[in-house]
Each structure stands twice: as structure tokens, then as C-alpha cells.
Chains A and B, each alone.
Chain A
Amino acid sequence: MERTKNLKIHVGFVLSSAPGYSEVFLTNTMKTMLAKGIKVTLFTDKPGKVIFVKHVAGFRLPRNRFLRPVKVLLVLCLTFLRAPLRVLRYVSVLRSDNRRLPEIIKSIFISSHILPCRLTHIHFGFATLGIYREHLGRVMDAKLSTSIRGYDVCIYPLVHKNAYELLWKNLDRLHTISSDLYNVACRLGLPLHVPHVKINPAVDVNLFPSLDGKAKIGSQWPLRIITVARLHWKKGIDYALEALLLLKNKGIDFTYTVIGTGEERERLIFLVHQMGLTECVEFAGKLPHDQVINRMGASHLYLQPSIQEGFCNAVLEAQASGLLCIVSDAEGLQENILHGQTGWVVPKRNPDVLARKILEVIALPEEQKQVIRRSARRRVEEEFSLELQAKRFAEFFS
């Protein structure tokens, strides 16, 4: 009965590109919605390969600046032919909102792949994607919702003040991955009356082996430390390296593996050289998920030293895999790890404190470590399961 009801729902999920390696959360969200019988169409600005869901890519502007107006005109005509009433309605709404002609053209162009579709819900995977699309819900008779992510509320508004003023006004519902991000959005003017739902990221715990065979710290040296993160400044890996340098100076025998790649690779490798840590630090690059699970399984300690973090799927996976996790207090990480119960939370940008915490954790009696490991895994199973996420998303769009 519930399934029949859900079939009427058709969610248009708007993203900038097909979800990639670091966006496990988005893929899981769509997959779980499909599993619940919700019809999902993925709209992306850039083309890309997506196999698990119907995918419509938007039109892109040609590089040649002389061809650009020609393409824009063609796309506008095409969109008008496919959905004449909606386009007229969209223009009328935008004009009543005092938008100038270039803004009207831009608004129609960037939503030209969405406008002709019949949707009951339009959901922006990132709030930034809702900019210039604020009126889509009204024009398409669909509920408008957005997820807010770390970049959306913590970084983008620093450059673009009041970027979400119009979006906030037109939202029917908001999804946040952590309470902290919601509070940040409120400080950015999100009206309190907009219903918001917190749905945390989730992991499939079954992919991770049980804790019984988990390597014990002290039984095998060196201490194996791991982080799974893009090599991006906001992940704060440089601060982790500083902390590890302090450990090395104290004579601790360790290896540190960072899985992931990114624009800061040169910087981080340079730091490792300068610190004299080349023997202990490995940048393993981007690895397939099964190998990530294996590497996590073979490690003792997980670090997430982020400067800015929405929630962090990798930390959930680390907990599922029975790793002792030490994370920074950046935004959602404080909700991801319960300090002292499922891991430890330390102030960000502070290598001294991080190093001290690592020393404290490795010195804990094995029984205490096992208590933390088990609580972490249990909490992930109970509170961050795919089933729970699917159920909440189904409710979100009902």
C-alpha cells in the first residue's frame, strides 16, 4: 500500500555533476530512495556516466564566445517548444521578481533540462545549485527542497553575501546532514519556519568485517594510522602531519596512510619531505571502495583532522570498521563522533592537542579501546544505517 502511494512521487535530484568518489552520500541517498519505490530523476549541469538512475544532463555553453549566444538562443527555443506554458510562467514570475533580461535568460538556460519534466519534488543536492533556480518549484508546481552541505553554508557565503536570500524564501523543506550546519544556515538568514529534517549520511555496515579479528594496538608495531580524504585544504591533513611529527620526535613507531587524491598533493608531499616523514607517510591515492575497507581493516587508528566538515562518511566507515577515531571539532564531526564514547573530538588546527590525544588513546587499556570500538560500531549500525536513511528520505519527500 505504502509503495503504491510512493510511486506517485517523482523527485528531481539536481546536482552539478554525476556523484563521484567522495560523494558516497549522494549516491546512497538516491539508491535508497529508488529502493523505497520513489521515482528519481537525476539532473546534472555537466554530462557524466550514471547507471543506477535516470539521468538528464543540462546544456553546456560552448567555449567559443561567438557560438555562445547562438547556443543559448537554440536552447531557449527548444525549451519553449517542449514546455511553452512553463517557460511563459517562468518569465512572468521572474519579471514580477524584477529580474533583468540577462538574469531571466540565465535562469531558463540553466534549468532548460529540468523545466519540461513532470516532477512532484525538486531537490537540490547542494544549496548553491538552487541559486537562479529559486522559482522552479512555483513554476513547475513542485515542492522545492535542498540539502545543505559544508561548502554551501561555510564557504560559499563568505564570497557571495546573501546568496540564499531568495532560496530560503521559496523553500518548502530543508535537509541538513548535521545540526551544526543547520545552525550555520540559520545564522545566514534561513527562516525558522522552514521545516528542516536532519538525515545523517549512512553506511552499509555489512560491508565491513566484524570486530573480532581487529588488530590490537601494541600487539603489532608500527602503529598504523589512516585517513580517507580528498587532498583538499579543508581536510586539514597538514595539521595531522604536524601532530605526527611530534609523535615521531617522541619516538613513536607509526605509519600514516592517506587514501584519496586532490589538488593539495604537491603541498602535502612537500610537507612530508620537509618534516622528514617520508619513511612513515604514504599517499595511497584514490582506491576502489573494497580496498579502502581492507586498508581500514588493517589499521589501528583513524584521524579526521578537518578544518571544515559537513559530517564525513569516511568517519562512519572507520567506525564501522572498528577503528579508534580521533576527529577535529569541525562542524558535523562533533555529531559524527560522541567524544569519549565512540571516539574522541579535539580542537581543529591544533597539532599539539591531537598528538597528545593520540598518545593518550594508544596508552588506554585494551578493554577500554574495545568498549569504544564496540560502541562506535553499534551506534553506526543503529543510527547511521542505510535502512534508516532510506526511511527518513521517503518521509522527507512524502
Chain B
Amino acid sequence: MISDKRLAVAIYSVAIPSTTFIERLIIGLANEGLEVVLFGKFVQPVTYTQSSIIVIGNRNGLVGLVQYFARFIKLLLSHPARYVALRNYLGYGPLSGKEEFLKWKKYVPVLLRLPDIFHIQWARSAEEWIFLKKLFDVKLVLSFRGTHINAAPKADSVLANSYRKAFKHFDAFHAVSYAMVKEAVQYGVDESKVHVIYSGLPYRLLPETNPVASERIRILVVGRFHWKKGYQYLFDALHKLKSINVFFSLTLVAQGELPHELLFQLHDLNLSQEVSWIKGLSYQEVENEMLTHDVLVLPSIEEGIANVVLEAMQLGLLVVSTDCGGMKEVILNGENGFIVPVRNPQALAEGIISASKLSHADRTRLRQRGWETVTEQFNLNRNIPLFVQMYEGLKSCA
């Protein structure tokens, strides 16, 4: 299957466009000379300047139906054997039912353009693509990111079993942190196949300007509303700060509506004056917020490695993070930020106080160290070639 021509890697992340991480990976791989094929469902229009990025997305509605039909006819005419092979493997065709119809809608574009390597970004999708390996010898790669590995399968034994069945067919795995590998091995992953490649940021200089001193601690939190973000513990910590007369303000940047749970908690703990909530911001706007706050807090219960922490450290914003997921691989307590135990409002409150009481010299040192950590270990220019190496390794195994 794999020839000497330019290596074609398919990235499957369900939605097109995907998250910041994955979009950076796509562009980075294209810049390294790979042909990158994107499969998935369009959620927004997307354009790339790189000609080696080929977007083969599915659309919704009537247009999607016509597109599906056209692709299906093309598949029958150009690769009838592929259709027959998959139909026999699945035991159903596209007209067997609504669910089957939608599954084939996903499969047909991939059958039309079989890549050398199919890189699935979210573990939940792993099982349904095993046929690519079994029938067409496409190399399968899976990324271990976030809740799909470290939370969802714990409460869902069916999902956990599907992981155990699916993972043994994969040729390689990418983990966003070493902590994530520990989680993944519970589902029968062969550790020797795992490549830990950190997410990377494009290089930039450490901004010189330090936030203007303020009477109150200006805390920034950026992240979606999800229980694993641990905002409940942060609000409990803020309540403790308030009870000992520490002055602070908190800006919470998150998409969507403030959940009832948090709204009630703010009201219940009398924190409505101190906490303001911004309903989603662009990357640039978040950066501006980072430059005008004293500390970024990550109160999460579980994470891979939080991108927002890397961005804050690169901009010289002090970080107080819980010791969840791979955060300890980024932050050394007191060296380049602060790390506190998970689900512990008292420790979180103390962490925020420690960050605010730093002397000018210590603050400068921590900012510099934080920036160095990101530049050395979470550098896009250094990490993208590691993905290429992983893919090349699979090619040489073929």
C-alpha cells in the first residue's frame, strides 16, 4: 500500500475544522511536505493556503445527500471491490437502515481515497475504522486526548470494552502526555507503540510588559463549561479568599451559557461582584486578556495538557494549575508556575495567594522559566517533525 510517493496521511477528527491543536498539526504536516487528507463533517467553512491539504468533508442537508449519492456512484464505478469487501465485512449496505445509511456516508469518501495512514484524533471513533486495517491494510494511528481516554470509559463499560477490542489493531498511538499513556494502558495498549508528542505552539518572544500592579489579584480562567474543568472547586476557593479578605477579581472566558450549577454557586457564595464572565473570545482577544491579568488558574479535575496553560506561560502570565493529567509535565511547582492538588479549594486558594505575593525578582524568574519551558518542550517547529517520524516509521514497517 505504501509507496515511495509523497506520504498521504488522513486526519479524522469528526468535525472540520477541528480544535486549535489539530489544526496546527494539519498545517504543520503539510508544511513538512506530507499530503494531508481531512475527513469528517463540515461544521464551518474552511480554507487552507497549502495545496497539499485536501479536504473531503461531508455536508448536511440536501446538498449532503446529493454529494453522498454522487460519491457512492463513483465508488461503485471506480472501486467496486472495495464496496463489496466492506459490505461483506459490515454485513449491511447503505440502505439497510438510517444508522447504516449515515455510517456509509462517513465511509464512502474514505474508500474512494484510501490514504497510507489514517490518524484518528478521538478514541471514541476508534472501533468503527478498524476495517481500514483489516480489509485495506491502511496503517491506523490513534491520538489519546482528554476525556475520551481519561474520563468517559470509566463510567461507560461498553465504551471501555470497545477500546479493548479496537486498540490491538492499531499500528501506533500518539499521546499528548505521559500521564495519558498510563490511562491508555488500562485498555490493553502496547506501550511500545505509543509516541508521546506534546502539543506545540509557534515560537514567539516573551512580551516585555509586565501587568500593571493592582490592589486586587486579577485572575483569569479560560476553558469550556464542563465538569472536568473543576470550576466548582475554584469558586469554593474564591469563597475562602473572600472570607479572609483577599481582594480579587476573576474573569472567566468560556463558550456557551453559564450553567445553572455555577450561576447558583456564584449567588450562593456571594461572589457575583468579583466574578465576571465573557461568553467566548477569539484567540487574539484571549491573548489580550492574558496580558492584563496577574494569574491564570486551571482548576481542572482532569486534562491532557491544557493548551491555555502553555499559551499563558508563553506570554509570561503566571499559572496556578491543579495536578491533573499531564500538568506536572509542564509545571514544576515554584519554578515556572504553581501546582496544587486536584479538588482542593484550600490548596487552590493558597496557590493563588502564593502567586500574588511573589517578589518582583521571583515573578520575573518564573515568567522567564515558564516561557523557556514552552519554547523548549512545547515548540511546534520541534514537535511536528516527531509526528512525521512516527508516520515514516510506519512506512518503513510496511
- CB contact under 8 A between A159 and B261, given known A265-B155, A266-B155, A274-B301: no
Asked whether any CB of chain B lies closer than 8 Å to the CB of A309, the reply is no
Q: Which residue of chain A has its CB nearest to the CB of B266?
A: A158
Query: Of B236, B267, B302, which is within 8 A of A158 by CB?
Result: B267
Q: Is the CB of A159 within 8 A of B302?
A: no
Interface size band for A: 20 to 34
Q: Which of A234-262 contact B (CB under 8 A)?
A: 234, 238, 242
A331 to chain B, nearest CB (A): 11
- CB contact under 8 A between A270 and B302, given known A242-B343, A264-B227, A349-B236: yes
* New contact pairs (15) apart from A155-B260, A238-B232, CB-CB < 8 Å: A159-B260, A233-B232, A233-B261, A234-B264, A242-B343, A265-B155, A266-B154, A266-B156, A266-B227, A267-B228, A269-B155, A270-B228, A270-B301, A273-B154, A308-B268
26 contacting pairs across A/B (C-beta < 8 A): A154-B264, A155-B260, A155-B263, A158-B260, A158-B264, A158-B267, A159-B263, A233-B232, A233-B261, A234-B264, A264-B227, A266-B151, A266-B154, A267-B228, A270-B155, A270-B228, A270-B302, A271-B343, A273-B154, A274-B301, A274-B302, A274-B342, A274-B343, A307-B264, A307-B268, A308-B268
Q: Is the CB of A271 within 8 A of B301?
A: yes
Q: Which residue of chain B has its CB nearest to the CB of A156?
A: B260
A158 to B266, CA, bound (A): 10
- Mask, B133-159, CB within 8 Å of A = 1, is 000000000000000000110111000
A394 to chain B, nearest CB (A): 35
Of residues A265, A269, A274, A307, which shows the largest number of chain B Cβ atoms within 10 Å of its Cβ? A274
- Mask, B254-282, CB within 8 Å of A = 1, is 00000011011101100000000000000
Main secondary structure of the interface of A (DSSP, over half): helix
The interface residues of chain B lying within 8 Å CB-to-CB of A274 are 301-302, 342-343
B residues in contact (CB < 8 Å) with A: 151-152, 154-156, 227-228, 232, 236, 260-261, 263-265, 267-268, 301-302, 342-343
A141 to B264, CA, bound (A): 37
The interface residues of chain A lying within 8 Å CB-to-CB of B261 are 233-234
The interface residues of chain B lying within 8 Å CB-to-CB of A238 are 232
B261 to chain A, nearest CB (A): 4
- CB contact under 8 A between A158 and B263, given known A267-B227, A271-B301: yes
A248 to chain B, nearest CB (A): 15
The interface residues of chain A lying within 8 Å CB-to-CB of B268 are 307-308
A269 to B232, CA, bound (A): 17
- Mask, A126-169, CB within 8 Å of B = 1, is 00000000000000000000000000001100110000000000
- CB contact under 8 A between A308 and B264, given known A269-B154, A270-B301, A349-B236: yes
B375 to chain A, nearest CB (A): 32
A266 to B343, CA, bound (A): 16
- Mask, A320-361, CB within 8 Å of B = 1, is 000000000000000000000000000001000000000000
A95 to B94, CA, bound (A): 55
A270 to B153, CA, bound (A): 9
Q: Which residue of chain B has its CB nearest to the CB of A272?
A: B154
Give 7 nearest A-B pairs by CB, closest first.
A269-B155, A266-B155, A233-B261, A267-B227, A270-B151, A273-B154, A158-B263
A269 to B160, CA, bound (A): 14
Q: Which residue of chain A has its CB nearest to the CB of B156?
A: A266
Q: Which of A91-137 contact B (CB under 8 A)?
A: none
Q: Is the CB of B260 within 8 A of A266?
A: no
A69 to B123, CA, bound (A): 43
The interface residues of chain A lying within 8 Å CB-to-CB of B232 are 233, 238
Q: Is the CB of A270 within 8 A of B154?
A: yes
The interface residues of chain A lying within 8 Å CB-to-CB of B151 are 266, 270
The interface residues of chain A lying within 8 Å CB-to-CB of B155 are 265-266, 269-270
A307 to B155, CA, bound (A): 23
B226 to chain A, nearest CB (A): 9
The interface residues of chain B lying within 8 Å CB-to-CB of A271 are 301, 343
Q: Which residue of chain B has its CB nearest to the CB of A268?
A: B155
Q: Which residue of chain B has its CB nearest to the CB of A330?
A: B268
A169 to chain B, nearest CB (A): 25
The interface residues of chain A lying within 8 Å CB-to-CB of B227 are 264, 266-267
A144 to chain B, nearest CB (A): 27
A382 to chain B, nearest CB (A): 33
A234 to B260, CA, bound (A): 9
A298 to chain B, nearest CB (A): 26
The interface residues of chain B lying within 8 Å CB-to-CB of A349 are 236
The interface residues of chain A lying within 8 Å CB-to-CB of B263 are 155, 158-159
A330 to chain B, nearest CB (A): 9
The interface residues of chain B lying within 8 Å CB-to-CB of A154 are 264
Q: Which residue of chain A has its CB nearest to the CB of B262?
A: A233
A269 to B147, CA, bound (A): 13
Q: Which residue of chain A has its CB nearest to the CB of B265?
A: A307
The interface residues of chain A lying within 8 Å CB-to-CB of B152 are 266
